[in-house]
Structures are given as C-alpha cells and as structure tokens.
Amino acid sequence: MKISIAQLNYHIGNFEKNRELICSAISKAKNEGSELVIFSELSVSGYPPLDLLDHSDFVRKCQETVGEIAKECRGIMAIVGSPIPNNNREGKKLFNSALVLSEGKIIFTSRKSLLPTYDIFDEYRYFEPERSFSVFNFGQFRIALTICEDLWDEQQFENEFEKSRLYTVSPMDELAVQSPDLVINISASPFSYSRIETRNNIFINKAKKYHLPVIDVNQTGANTELIFHGASVVVTPEGEIAEQLPFFEECIRTFVLEDVISGKNKPVSARPAEIELIYKALKTGIRDYFVKMNFRKAVIGLSGGIDSAVCLCLAATALGNENVSVLLLPSRFSSEHSVTDAVRLAENLDVKHEIISIEKPFTAFEESLSLLFSGLPSDVTEENIQARIRATMLMAYSNKFGHILLNTSNKSEAAVGYGTLYGDMAGGLSVIGDVYKTDVYRLAEFINRDSEVIPRNIITKAPSAELRPGQFDTDSLPDYNILDSILHLYIELQKPVSEIIASGLDKEVVRRVIKMINSNEYKRYQAPPILRISSKAFGAGRRMPLVAKY
Amino acid sequence: MKISIAQLNYHIGNFEKNRELICSAISKAKNEGSELVIFSELSVSGYPPLDLLDHSDFVRKCQETVGEIAKECRGIMAIVGSPIPNNNREGKKLFNSALVLSEGKIIFTSRKSLLPTYDIFDEYRYFEPERSFSVFNFGQFRIALTICEDLWDEQQFENEFEKSRLYTVSPMDELAVQSPDLVINISASPFSYSRIETRNNIFINKAKKYHLPVIDVNQTGANTELIFHGASVVVTPEGEIAEQLPFFEECIRTFVLEDVISGKNKPVSARPAEIELIYKALKTGIRDYFVKMNFRKAVIGLSGGIDSAVCLCLAATALGNENVSVLLLPSRFSSEHSVTDAVRLAENLDVKHEIISIEKPFTAFEESLSLLFSGLPSDVTEENIQARIRATMLMAYSNKFGHILLNTSNKSEAAVGYGTLYGDMAGGLSVIGDVYKTDVYRLAEFINRDSEVIPRNIITKAPSAELRPGQFDTDSLPDYNILDSILHLYIELQKPVSEIIASGLDKEVVRRVIKMINSNEYKRYQAPPILRISSKAFGAGRRMPLVAKY
C-alpha cells in the first residue's frame, strides 16, 4: 500500500490557503498512486491557533474547511488535523482531532489524549483530553492514529525537576491491546536544537516497544516565534529510520508501507550540523513572519557589531538583499571601525545603506533636558537616550517606507537586561533573541564558511555598545563564555543556584548573573516576539511574575 | 467554635514577608480565641507564582516556610495554601494544596482538583489534578476543604461558546457523600468588575445546594496585573451572606461558626458601586506594583487629555502626591488649553510638574531625516516621532531620577492600535489599559464626585492626540460609545462578527473595528503589563497569534 506524507507550511486562520495546500497535496498523492495521504496536527487551522479557538466562528470555519477537503478525497483517503467541538455535556469545548476523510465524509476521528501544557504549549486551555482509544480499520491494516504528544508519555525533560512520566495515561499502551499494525502520529513539533534527537528517539522507541512501523508527519514553516523543522520520519518496527523528510522544507513523500515493514528501505540518518539547523531555522522564521504578515521589506540598524551583522546576513538570505535596508546611526562615541566595518558588510551583501548621525537629536535632547538635569553627572540616562534616538530613527524609516524593523538583541544580553527598552530592544521581530552570544559567533563563522561575508574585524573586535567613551561589554558583564554557561544552566536546565555554583562556576558571578536575570523580567515583558530555537526561549514559553522576590 | 478568616496581601516569592504576615495573623486569631485561622490559596508562595514553580529550590522554600509556620500553630490550627511535590510516579510535579497545620505538623492535606486553565489562569501547566476526595475531621466537625476553582464546576462564562460545565468532576458532589458539616474554600480570585456577583453566587448556590455553611477566604492586594479584591464571605446554609470582609483591604475577621449555622448573624450585602470598585482596584494595583517592586516614585506625561489626568489622580492617591511628578511635553501642535488644563490639574493635586517643549528634538529629527525623506509628504511618521520623543524624555526623567513611568493608554485605543509603539505606549505599568474610554470618563466623574479635581475642560473637550493641526480622535475612530460597544462584544464576550452586527451596530463600522483589533496584535504584544479589571484584559489573559489571518 502506498502512503504519502505531506509536510507543509500552514498559516493560522488562513483557511483558503491551508485548504489549497492540502487539496493540491491530495491530488499529487493520488497521482503518485497513494491510498492515504497524511497531514500534520491542526493543519486545517494552522498551529498554534491560541485564543482564536475561543471564537465559535473560527471553529465553524475549521469545520467548513474540513468538509470542503473531504469532498476532494475521491479514490484516496486523507488524514487532517482540526479542532472539533466536544459534543459531550461536560468538559472543554473542543477536541484536538485527527480526522480520516474519504469520499466526502469524515469516516474516523481520533482525539488527542495528552495535551502538552508547559513551555510554549497551552493545549489544556482549549481542549478536552480523550480518555477512550480505538484503532482505525483501513483495508487489512489496523491503524493506531495518534496526535503528537500522545506518543510523548515517556519523554525526558531537560529540567530534572519534571517527572519522566508527565501523564497518567499512555495512549499507545491503550491502543496496543487492540493489535494495531501501524502507528501514525500527526504532529506540530516546533524546532529546538537540543531536542532533535529526543524527538527521533520518541518514534524509534515506540516502534521498538510495540514492534510496529511508526509514521510521523510534522509541519514546516514558522508562525511568529515558533519554527517547525519538518524532518518527518518513517520508522521500521526494528527502530530504523526508513524515510526522513527534509528539514525546514515543504515536501510530499510517497512510500510503500510493506517495504517499510519488511525493512526493504535502507536506513537513513542524514542530519545537518546543529549550527546549520539554527541558521536555517532563523531564516525560515524571518521569511514566514514576513510572508504571513504580508510584509516584504525589512530595516536593520547596523552598529558594526556582530549581532546586527549576523541578523543582516540572515535577513538578506531570508528576504532577498533587495528587500533589506540598513541604517548606520553613529554618534560621537562611535569608533571609526564601526562605520567602516558596517559599510563593508552592507557592500558585501549588496544591501542599501544610509548613514545618519544621531548627533543633532542627541544635542537637542541634552539641551532640552539641561535645565532639569543641570549639575547632575552623565550616566545611563544619556546612554539610553542615544539608543532611543536610534530606535526612533529606525521606526521613522519603518513608518515612512513600510519596512519592518528587525531587532538584533541576543539572548545573553536579553537575559541580563543589557539593552535599552524602546531603544535597541525595539523591533517587530527579534531574530537572535534566543541565540546566546557565543552561538552568535558560531553563526558568524557558519555564514563565513565559504567566503568572508562578515568582515573579520566584526568577529574579532571586543564587543562594545559604544554609548560612552571606551565602553566594553566586559565592563558590566562577565566573559561571554562564562555568562552563557550560567545562563544555560539557569534558563534551559532550570538548575538551582546551589547546583550551578557546585558545577565549578564562581559563586559571586553566578549570584550576580542570576540576580540580573530575575530583576530584568520587566524589560523582557515588552520585548518583541523572539524566534525560538532552544528548549526555553524568552517569551510565551517562559512566564515569570514581575513583582516577585526570588 | 471561633474561626478566623485572614484576608491578606502576599508577595510572590517573598517567603519571609509571607511567613511574617501569616504568623502574626495566627497570633492575632489565637488572642481572639479562635481555634482555626484560614489563609488563602498559595498564601505561602504568593499567587500566581507562574514558572517559578519550575524551580525546585522555589518549591523547597515553600515547604520550609510551611514547616516554620506549622511551628507557630500551638493551641490553634491554621489552613495555608502552598504548592507541594507530587510523590506519585506519574503526573505533573506539584499539587496546589491546602494544608492544615497544628502543633508543628501538617495534619491534613487537601489538593486542588479543578485547575483553571483559561484566561489568566495556567494551573494545569504546573499542577496535577486531585482525583480522590476526603473530608477533614476537626473536633465534632467534618470539613470539606476545597481550593478556589473546586467550587466553580458550574460557573457560567461570559463567552457563550464555553460549556457551562467545564469539568467532568464536581469535587463538592464527591465530598458531599461523606456528610461534611462545613465547606471551606481558600481562593485567589482576581478582581473583575463583571464577576463580583457571579463569585458570590458560586458560594451561595453551593451553600444552598448542600445546605452547608461556606467559608470563602480570598486574598487582597495586587501582583503585577492581577488585583485581588478580598471581599471574603461566610455564607449560611440558607444562602445568606453572614460575613463579608472589606474590598481591597487586609482584614482578619473572627466569627462563631455556630452563630452562622443557626442564622444568628444578620445578612450583609454592602457592595460599593462598580466605578468605585474599579477606582479602588486600580489604586491597589498601582500601590502594590510599586511596593512589591521596591519603587517609590512615578512619573507621568500629562497631555491635558482625560486619560493622563485620570492616571495622575490614581497615582497621586496610590503613591502620595509627593511621590509623583509630571512632565508636560508640548509641541507646535499642542493647543494652549492642553498646557493650561494640565498645569491646573497638577496644581489641584499639588504634584510637581515641569514643562519641556519637544520642539528642539523634533526639529533635529526632521533635519537629520530630511535628506532621506526629501520630497515625501508628512504622514504618521512625523506623528510617531513626536510620541517617541516624549517617551524618550519621560524615560530620561525616569532613568535620571529613578521614577517609574506610568503608561496612560486606555483599552479602547489599545484595542484598535491608536497609539505609538515606543511612544505613548511606553511605561512600566499600564494604569488604565483595561478601562474603555467611556469608563475613563466615569472614573473622572467619580474622582470629581466631591470637588473639581480634574478641570472640567479636560472632561468636556473633544479627545485629540494633537500630533497634527486640528486632529481629533473621531477623525480615525468611531464615536467612543459605539466603539466601546463593539469592543466589549468582541473582546469580553467573544461574539462572532455576525452576531455583533445583528445586535444593531453598523456593519461597515463593526468590520472595520474588528479588523483594527486583529491587525494590531503586534503592537499589544510589546505593551507594558496592564492592571486587569475586566473579565478579558489585554495581556496574559488574551493570547492571540500574530501571524494569523482572521
């Protein structure tokens, strides 16, 4: 039996586009002789629809679209994901469902049982968990049709405080007693560089445990901060990966189920290097933010430092160099190399650039505030004014020409609050807000892998905000290698302070850094959405109280 | 038997303060002859602790603090709320618990079964729901000890799309078969002006349904955006309110249980008017944000309009007029009355004010950008530059003098995106971001109830942003009465567009307004935290995807 996996890029609430995508894949799969084509979780609505699910007309539109797609399933079956109303008297109003469509009808419905409600996931906010389980009979095959987390009941968390069995139910254990021949898992798994292997192991372990082939269908593309890497897999009952779809690309792949079961396919295990995956994830994230928001052009403030350099390279690749403009906004404190390095980078990328000094507005602010501030020493106030003038310039460019400002703050500085709210923290989308400074350097080296795109001096010079004479990041922060180690232990792994210190890091430095993290929640609260590449990004996946003492 | 209700104001993660508060109330209750003193939900940790619960050392601190409090329970019992680890092999790592403390020990534990996971609530993110139920034997009494949502299984939602039975379990039905004599409910119910009566009815209906007295213990004070109104109640088995604690105030109230059961207490039903409650809620919200963040002073940009006027009055009451400063930041487009009205208000409140023209920086920006913008007509760009200059001035004042900038945007303009990101949308806390414009007028009238604090002209003049000559809000927006009607139907009640139109509002206006709401999610994403007074505020309680087509 031929089966097709449709790994596609959906847009939340864009029912027309999602329907067209799905219907054209159905037609392609049919042409390839498939009997079944499988789409990913909530493919009809796009994932995650969030509080749009609180609107009854949004859910009605999902149902209408499912009906329209069902009509296209002539001589082929399709499995799509959609929210459907819970018709029981009690419980949440919806189920997160996998629907089997055939000859104009929904012929089988599977409903998600394990509802991830941690990190960026909020599924119990909307969905009632399924408590009963049945396999779907498809010709001679009995299919265990599961939805994403349903197979993740034994996952390991990076935060050791989490239980290794988060749920009290194992859907596959329930389904296994009904002797299925095949496991299908439709998912919407967002990218996290540290979880790629974990994810594959979930499918490999389930395949081996039940000695069944497992077909995983993930989506690709990005919706705001969440980037979906695709990389759908088909796993043999022996736990070999028989098919692996590409990372970060749409793809329809047709295969013969019997070949997978018999182990006829050669195992595949191609996986790009981590830094390449991060690069591709960020590129996808930028591209889809613009495509799906119906934007075309971006503007970036280029400082001559490495953060804005890497962001510019990513934006130019994602959007096309002709769609990206940069402003260089030097002040009296800017070193000469910051302008020349930035210009060289813009020229290397053939990106339009303008140089505007911020001197005039800075002087005007100084004069206007002189009476009020008279006799007081210059401090962080004047540094912030410069950063805010730059943001105002960039936003003026954005407003006048319709370019979206991309934010270029990295995760290390966002963590410790080394940035100016309404200044360098401004922008419509944060490109590298989930990338630690040390990984920004790795990205720069990756970008320069074939030739020097980013001028060497940008990579080698000591990081500086250039907001006062002779300022360097290391005046206020520990060395980035040390800083990033602490940040990773505290943010991603959520280790207690005592354990972080016990790992060999300096006690005073650890305490100071963690205090900086906690006391800057208020700044991050107002940060733009951040493209997520780690298992714990700032933003919707990390919810800290502001008025807390901790 | 004497029982005391302790309605207190906790601070998230401030274990020392929370312990002192609780211990001093235990001592007071003991002095009043009480046998039992009851504290509210998660009183030990503060509510809501959010992702601090992902940190094992935070939970350990909760347990240590419970132990310390238990030691103070000599000759009196106390019920406190705390997260406690789930020692089962499976499930979420914590239970949201009510602990009965006596003579140094935890003698009974009740664990929350219904975990609100909607609007601002995320409890299933952290807690495992309890599935078994037992009453607590206390002398001759059998107590059904419940936690907040446990009694809300039959609540009605304002969004009619929600089921009226959100849960598949009714903890009180389970407990009722064990013949309790008394229901205790410890809660952390945030204020929402439309839910006060709903809340009381929950307790009244449960009392009547099971013919049992119900003791509800709510907290007061505010944690960032959430404001807790207190107003704890004791309800007789007949459903009369026998005791009602004050709104927005700490209070320890001791009563005789037998008197409540026998109906000896006279029913009470004092409830301040809605607008007074909103006023007090906002005042509490401002005060506690400052107290708990360890701030003292605020700065506000005073435009001469009604929004900043009302915010200033609230801030002056909450923080003391000596702790509030205002900046008047007129431009070439400011009318004369905007300055004179603002000055008069500042004088009425005896608040320090400074006038700084934004003309110099504005001209400097125009000149600096003139080459880039040459030949292009003036548009929203120049309007936004003015708003951003003002934000930069206010933040400079904030940085130099350590005053926190209060944001003065109202809910109507936040809804339709009538504001400038990094401009008038800036600030550490949004005071009236959950107050519709028409309610801002009601607040102004309430503030002026005894004498003219806010100059009449501020209330009567037509609203204008004064960012270009002769500009009025009504140039871009429908009349606020109409706008607010649409907003309320769409945001709070989540009505479908078709129903909003069917309610008699103009089709084109409704469509335009809803389009504005949806297309401005990106702006609200970066807004400051908003003091919540409604059942659906912008911020953590309303999670909309940015890249959605809807």
- The mean per-residue pLDDT over the stretch B233-240 comes to 96
Q: Which of B119, B392, B499, B538 to mutate to test the interface with A (most CBs of A within 10 A)?
A: B392
Kindly identify which residue of chain B lies nearest to residue A17, measuring between CA atoms: B549
Q: Please report which helix (H) or strand (E) contains residue B243, including its range.
A: strand B241-244
pLDDT attached to residue A271 = 84
B186 in helix, strand or coil? strand
Query: Smallest Cβ distance to B13: which of A58, A364, A548?
Result: A548
Convert the pLDDT of each residue in A442-458 to its tens digit: 999 999 999 999 999 99
Helix ranges, B294-421 (H)? 306-319, 336-349, 359-373, 380-401, 411-416
Chain B positions in Cβ-Cβ contact with residue A122 (cut-off 8 Å): 117, 122, 125, 543
Mean of pLDDT over chain B: 96
pLDDT attached to residue B229 = 97
Query: Where is pLDDT greater, at A262 or B85?
Result: B85
Contact assignment for A396 to B369 by CB distance below 8 Å? yes
Query: Smallest Cβ distance to A93: which of B163, B367, B396?
Result: B163
Contact assignment for A384 to B396 by CB distance below 8 Å? yes
Count how many Cα atoms sit within 13 Å of the Cα of residue A211 in the half-sphere of its side chain.
Answer: 3
Paired residues of B324 in beta bridges: B298
Chain B contact for A502, CB < 8 A? no
Name the region of A65 (left: φ>0; alpha: ψ -120 to 50; beta: rest).
Answer: alpha
Kindly identify which residue of chain B lies nearest to residue A360, measuring between CA atoms: B364
- The mean per-residue pLDDT over the stretch B359-374 comes to 97
Contact assignment for B391 to A388 by CB distance below 8 Å? yes
Query: Smallest Cβ distance to A166: which of B92, B224, B360?
Result: B92
Q: Which of residues 89 through 108 in chain B touch A, CB cutoff 8 A?
A: 89-93
Q: Which of residues 360 through 419 in chain A touch B, CB cutoff 8 A?
A: 360-361, 363-365, 367-369, 372-373, 376, 379-381, 384-385, 388-389, 391-393, 395-397, 399-400
Q: Whole-angstrom distance between the N-terminal and C-terminal Cα of chain A?
A: 58
> Rounded distance, CA B251 to CA B5, Å?
8
pLDDT at residue B31 tops 90: yes
Q: Which of residues 290 through 349 in chain B touch A, CB cutoff 8 A?
A: 292-293
Chain A contact for B540, CB < 8 A? yes
Contact assignment for A13 to B549 by CB distance below 8 Å? yes
pLDDT attached to residue A264 = 84
Contact assignment for B546 to A540 by CB distance below 8 Å? no
Contact B255, B229 (CB under 8 A): no
- The mean per-residue pLDDT over the stretch A335-355 comes to 96
pLDDT at residue A42 tops 90: yes
> Rounded distance, CA B15 to CA B19, Å?
6
pLDDT at residue A4 tops 80: yes
Q: Distance from B135 to chain A by nearest Cα, in Å?
A: 25
Contact assignment for B50 to A543 by CB distance below 8 Å? yes
Q: Which of A422, A489, A498, A544 to mutate to test the interface with B (most CBs of B within 10 A)?
A: A422
The residue behind tokens 């400011």 is B334
Query: Smallest Cβ distance to A525: which of B379, B529, B549?
Result: B529
Q: Distance from B270 to chain A by nearest Cα, in Å?
A: 31
Residue A37's pLDDT band, with cuts at 50, 70 and 90, is very high
Chain B positions in Cβ-Cβ contact with residue A52 (cut-off 8 Å): 544-545, 548, 550
The DSSP annotation for B89-140 comes to SSS-SEEEEEEEEETTEEEEEEE------STT--GGGTBPPP-----EEETT
pLDDT at residue A303 tops 90: yes
Label each residue of A188-239 as H, E or C. Answer: CCECCCCCHHHHHHHHHHHHHHHCCCEEEECCEEEECCEEEEECCEEECCCC
Say what percent of chain A tops pLDDT 90.
93
The DSSP annotation for A511-526 comes to HHHHHHHHHTHHHHHT
Give the burial string for B155-169 (b: 16+ CB within 10 Å, else e).
bebbbebbbeebbeb
Convert the pLDDT of each residue in B208-221 to its tens digit: 999 999 999 999 99
- The mean per-residue pLDDT over the stretch B135-157 comes to 95
Q: Distance from B364 to chain A by nearest Cα, in Å?
A: 5
- The mean per-residue pLDDT over the stretch A87-99 comes to 97
Q: Distance from B267 to chain A by nearest Cα, in Å?
A: 34
Chain B positions in Cβ-Cβ contact with residue A364 (cut-off 8 Å): 360-361, 363-364
Report field, pTM of the whole predicted structure over 0.95 = yes
The residue behind tokens 């190399």 is A337
- The mean per-residue pLDDT over the stretch A396-419 comes to 98
pLDDT at residue A129 tops 80: yes
Q: How many CB pairs under 8 A join A and B?
A: 286
Contact assignment for B368 to A361 by CB distance below 8 Å? yes
pLDDT at residue B169 tops 80: yes
Strand arrangement of the beta sheet that strand A233-235 belongs to: A136-138, A141-147, A182-186, A214-217, A233-235, A241-244
Q: Phi/psi of residue A364, each to 5°?
A: -60, -40
Residue A267's pLDDT band, with cuts at 50, 70 and 90, is confident
Chain A contact for B357, CB < 8 A? yes
Residue B164's pLDDT band, with cuts at 50, 70 and 90, is confident
Across A526-540, B50-64, B259-273, B342-356, least confident range: B259-273
Contact assignment for A163 to B93 by CB distance below 8 Å? yes
pLDDT attached to residue B114 = 98
pLDDT attached to residue B550 = 77
Q: Which of residues 159 through 188 in chain B touch A, CB cutoff 8 A?
A: 159-163, 165-168
Q: Which amino acid is at B367?
A: E
Say which of A30, A73, A112, A466 is annotated catalytic. Answer: A112
Count how many Cα atoms sit within 13 Å of the Cα of residue A168 in the half-sphere of its side chain.
Answer: 12
Say which of A62, A73, A148, A311 is annotated catalytic. Answer: A148
Query: Smallest Cβ distance to A54: which of B161, B356, B376?
Result: B161
pLDDT attached to residue B476 = 87
Contact A81, A218 (CB under 8 A): no
- The mean per-residue pLDDT over the stretch B70-93 comes to 97
pLDDT attached to residue A550 = 77
pLDDT at residue A353 tops 90: yes
> Rounded distance, CA A462 to CA B60, Å?
41
pLDDT at residue B21 tops 80: yes
Q: In whole angstroms, how far apart are CA B339 and each of B353, B396, B431, B469? A: 11, 21, 22, 16
Mean of pLDDT over chain A: 96
pLDDT at residue B305 tops 90: yes
pLDDT at residue A345 tops 90: yes
Q: Which residues lie below 8 Å from residue B371, measured CB to CB, with a gap of 6+?
A: none
Count how many Cα atoms sit within 13 Å of the Cα of residue B241 in the half-sphere of its side chain.
Answer: 17
pLDDT at residue A269 tops 80: no
Q: Is A112 a catalytic residue?
A: yes
Chain B positions in Cβ-Cβ contact with residue A289 (cut-off 8 Å): 547
Chain B contact for A193, CB < 8 A? no
Contact assignment for B91 to A392 by CB distance below 8 Å? no
Contact assignment for B549 to A56 by CB distance below 8 Å? no
Contact A329, A463 (CB under 8 A): no
Chain B contact for A223, CB < 8 A? yes
Across A368-377, B291-300, B468-477, least confident range: B468-477
What is the token pair recorded at A246?
Answer: 């590409």
Contact assignment for A548 to B288 by CB distance below 8 Å? no
Across A78-87, A378-387, B216-225, B261-270, least confident range: B261-270
- The mean per-residue pLDDT over the stretch A68-92 comes to 97
Contact assignment for B54 to A494 by CB distance below 8 Å? yes
Kindly identify which residue of chain B lies nearest to residue A382, measuring between CA atoms: B396
Q: Which residues of B are catalytic?
A: 41, 112, 148
Across A516-520, B153-157, B282-286, B296-300, least confident range: B153-157
Query: Smallest Cβ distance to B544: which of A51, A356, A426?
Result: A51
Pick the closest to residue B478 from B454, B506, B440 (CA basis): B506
Query: Smallest Cβ distance to B93: which of A162, A368, A522?
Result: A162
Q: Which of residues 41 through 70 in chain A touch B, CB cutoff 8 A?
A: 46, 48-52, 54-59
Chain A positions in Cβ-Cβ contact with residue B292 (cut-off 8 Å): 547, 549
Q: Phi/psi of residue A497, each to 5°?
A: -50, -40
Chain B contact for A487, CB < 8 A? no
pLDDT at residue A336 tops 90: no
Q: In whole angstroms, how far apart are CA B66 and each of A245, B55, B72, B143, B357? A: 52, 17, 10, 21, 55
pLDDT attached to residue A139 = 87
Chain B contact for A424, CB < 8 A? no
Q: Which of residues 235 through 264 in chain A touch B, CB cutoff 8 A?
A: none
